[in-house]
Amino acid sequence: MDRSTPTTRVWGRAALLAAAALLAFPGAAAADGDGDDKGDAPTEAGTSFRTATPIRPDQEATAEASTGDYLYWAFPVDTGQRATVHATVKLPDAAARHAASTWQVDVYDGLRRRQACRLGTPKRTVAPDAASVSLSCTLRTVRAWSEQWANDPLPGTYYLRLTVTGLKADDLGLPVRAETKVTTTDAGGAQAVDGSLAEPLVPGAGSDRQRPAAATEPEDGWSSGWWSSRWLWTAAGGVLAALAGVGGYALTRGSGRPARVPQGM
């Protein structure tokens, strides 16, 4: 025999429905991200913005180059994402080098504006006998929209450039191996803003050997800023408000006694 009161049953159902509302959207988002095909890992790098080699998030890329070369990769970053670029350079044999070297990574957006690093070590000087050097740069969260005068990161194609500076002329041309990878995380609704770009910032498609504009588009397309976790909390808030109304009605019903009939009726 169920001895629970109607009010207890109402609030029990409310809790279950609220939990379901909170879990529904993250589960769908996770399902959409499963089974992504990262494709074959690139084994070369471009030498300019126009020939940057396209890579996708979480895809490891390598390139054989010479010390002193400028190496470029292009990758997509969408609204609400925070990207981190990683680069490791396998340096030439120590016996062939004459002095220390300084390596750095720079990240540019679709308008070729250099973006500042929030975290990481984008520049590092290594000794002549070092075997490798690792660099990283975490960008600010990509916004759906920004004022024209601002330098905020916006959705579109981004460029990773790997270079060496402060190098003696005797060390130019020595063989190196570069390994790069880009990872992204979702910042959540706290970073969401109203408004969106008409189009993501991607380079125009031309007759270049490679076309980062097409190759770096996300497999599911650009979000255009329509989705953020604020939608989740708004929906959950609406569900909880409705359930609170049902619960309030149940509480004010009293013990089920019939309403008092006015005298003289």
Which of the 8 DSSP states describes residue 257? P
Q: Are residues 153 and 135 in the same domain?
A: yes
Q: Measured at the alpha carbon of residue 239, what is the angle toward residues 235 and 223, in degrees to the nearest 5?
A: 10
Q: Are residues 116 and 11 in the same domain?
A: no
Q: Are residues 137 and 180 in the same domain?
A: yes
**What is d(CA 157, CA 155) in angstroms, rounded to the nearest whole number?**
7
pLDDT in the model for residue 192: 56
> Which residue range is the domain that position 201 belongs to?
41-221
**pLDDT, greater one: 153 or 38:** 153
Q: Are residues 102 and 186 in the same domain?
A: yes
Half-sphere exposure of 94 (CA within 13 A, CB side): 7
Q: Are residues 51 and 173 in the same domain?
A: yes
Name the strands in the sheet holding 81-90, side by side, starting at the edge strand that comes first in the sequence.
61-66, 175-186, 81-90, 132-138
Instruction: Please tell me whether residue 48 adopts helix, strand or coil conformation.
Output: coil
Q: Is the pLDDT of residue 23 over 60?
A: no
Per-residue pLDDT tens over the stretch 164-198: 988 889 999 999 999 999 999 987 655 555 556 66
Beta carbons of 65 and 176 less than 8 angstroms apart = yes
Looking at the domain assignment, is residue 80 inside a domain? yes
CATH of the domain at 45: 2.60.120.380
pLDDT in the model for residue 35: 40
Per-residue pLDDT tens over the stretch 232-242: 555 666 677 77
Which of 124-128, 218-222, 228-232, 260-264 is predicted most confidently? 124-128
Looking at the domain assignment, is residue 264 inside a domain? no
**Structural domains counted in the chain:** 2
**What is d(CA 80, CA 185) in angstroms, rounded to the nearest whole number?**
8
Q: Is the pLDDT of residue 200 over 90?
A: no
**What is d(CA 223, CA 200) in angstroms, rounded to the nearest whole number?**
9
Looking at the domain assignment, is residue 35 inside a domain? no
What's the rounded mean pLDDT across residues 12-20?
Answer: 50
pLDDT in the model for residue 56: 92
Q: Are residues 173 and 98 in the same domain?
A: yes
Looking at the domain assignment, is residue 34 inside a domain? no
Contacts of 145 (CB under 8 A, 6+ apart): 154, 193, 194, 195, 196, 197, 225
